[in-house]
Amino acid sequence: MVEGRGHLHYAGHGPGAPVLPRFRKRQRTADLIDIARFLAIDGAFGVLVAGIDLRAVPGQTIGLKARTLMFRTPDGISLYGAVFGSGHAGAVLANDVPHQICEEVPAAAWFAQRGLRTIVFDYRGHGESEIGSDPGRLDLDVAGAAAELRRLGVARVLLVGSYAGVAATVVASTKISPAVEGVIGFSPAPSRGQYVNGPFDPIGALQAAPRMRPPALYVTVRGDQYVPVAEVERLYRATGSREKRLVVVGYGPASWDLLDFSPFMRRVDRLVEGFIRAHG
């Protein structure tokens, strides 16, 4: 992974849990961390702590065939991101709002290891990304990331979101042309906190969902402290895609942790891998 240079560490789950090197914020020299080792530590010992600084020089290689870059949205905003992996199929990862790009690194590597060129990014107004004149149009950030993947040679694109990021992917999926191949939502949050009906103006996820056409897979957990299952079911019912599926697993970690830090992760991994095979 990562950068020039922020603070990076893990919260361990037992004696001897490793702490990765800590870096001085904003120093622009290139220190690289092996992502494969990074993820092996993550899976064996702990979870990523929020607050990693991924502010690298655009174009810098960060391991696992990943590099940082700047790209533009349809309304001309410059966003900071990173691309993992290679290939002609790809995934746009849309994080919760306003969480930082760092939280997506393990999930990005998960998708990259399954053959998808994967892009993560900071939303407008966050991290190194510009804010622009319309800070609520996060759907355009997702659309810009999809366009960047296509510029890099990706032919088939999946949109993948977490919490409010799912709302971003839902709205974006109704606008991107040519259409994306599918939408995956982890712990979908169609309306949450200050972002009523999604973090968009004037249209939100619940309004856009009836116009969705790409296949959709939503995965959530019971007892989520942020989004009740009833809200996810509401989004599922509103989704206009002919092929759609909602899977509710038991109590436990939500969001990206469903892939690698959940008692149900093997089931979720199989579901998502099947969706990738069918549509990615």
CATH number, residue 190 = 3.40.50.1820
Q: Would you state the pLDDT for residue 17?
A: 28
Q: What is the pTM of this model?
A: 0.79
Q: Would you state the pLDDT for residue 3?
A: 31
Pairing relationship of beta strands 46-48 and 10-12 according to DSSP bridges: antiparallel
Residues 81, 116: contact at Cβ < 8 Å? no
Asked whether residue 49 is domain-assigned, the answer is no
Asked whether residue 19 is domain-assigned, the answer is no
Asked whether residue 220 is domain-assigned, the answer is yes
Asked whether residue 159 is domain-assigned, the answer is yes
Total domains in the chain come to 1
Q: Would you state the pLDDT for residue 102?
A: 80
Q: Which residues of the chain carry a pLDDT beneath 50?
A: 1-57, 61, 193-197
Asked whether residue 140 is domain-assigned, the answer is yes
- Domain extent at residue 138: 57-279
Asked whether residue 41 is domain-assigned, the answer is no
Asked whether residue 16 is domain-assigned, the answer is no
Q: How far apart are CA 184 and CA 160, in angstroms?
A: 5
Q: Would you state the pLDDT for residue 18?
A: 29
Q: Would you state the pLDDT for residue 44?
A: 29
Closest CA to 204 of 220, 218, 217, 193: 193
Q: How far apart are CA 161 and CA 169, in angstroms?
A: 6
Asked whether residue 26 is domain-assigned, the answer is no
The residues, any chain, with a CB within 8 Å of residue 269's CB and separated by 6 or more, are 259
Closest CA to 168 of 217, 123, 220, 223: 123
